[in-house]
Amino acid sequence: LAVIKCKAAVAWEVDKPLSIEEVEVAPPKAHEVRVKVPYFCF
């Protein structure tokens, strides 16, 4: 598996709004899994 880029909600400070940012996710290591979570926007 390769490194993937995806969007994530990041909390930089307590009691502040989340920041939507693009992050890189490394391939899973031993005893780890990568899970794809589908979502729907209404």
Number of domains the chain contains: 1
pLDDT at 41 exceeding the cut of 90: no
Say what the pLDDT of residue 15 is.
98
Domain limits at 14?
1-42
Gap between the Cα atoms of 20 and 31, Å rounded: 28
Gap between the Cα atoms of 10 and 40, Å rounded: 19
Kindly state the average pLDDT of the residues 9-28.
96
Residue 22 confidence class, pLDDT cut points 50, 70, 90? very high
Cα 22–Cα 28–Cα 30 angle in degrees, nearest 5? 160
Cα 36–Cα 40–Cα 37 angle in degrees, nearest 5? 10
